[in-house]
């Protein structure tokens, strides 16, 4: 699956930070929605992977 989202490095970092905050907010709730958490975790992992791949390309 292609991870091209069109995000630059700073946009990826910003989105990752926003996802971390949203995940923490949901997990802190009394009854977190597992489906929402799973979707957020999946998006986070995808963006983190893209950021890592971008870093590797820039280092090459």
Q: Tens of pLDDT along the chain (60 residues)? A: 344 556 788 898 999 999 999 999 888 887 778 888 899 999 999 999 999 998 888 887
- Token couple for 51: 């950021």
Cβ contact 50:3 at 8 Å = yes
Q: Where are the domains of the chain?
A: 9-59
Q: Please state, as a whole number, how many other Cβ atoms lie within 10 Å of the Cβ of residue 30.
A: 4
Cβ contact 26:40 at 8 Å = yes
pLDDT of residue 8: 83
> Helix and strand tally (H, E) in the chain?
2, 0
pLDDT of residue 57: 84
CA of 48: how far to CAs of 3, 44, 54, in Å?
10, 6, 10
pTM: 0.71
């Amino acid at each position: 699956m292609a991870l091209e989202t069109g995000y630059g490095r700073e946009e990826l970092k910003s989105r990752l930070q926003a996802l971390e905050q949203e995940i923490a907010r949901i997990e802190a709730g009394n009854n977190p929605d597992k489906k929402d958490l799973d979707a957020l975790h999946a998006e986070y992992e995808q963006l983190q992977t893209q950021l890592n791949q971008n870093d590797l390309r820039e280092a090459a």
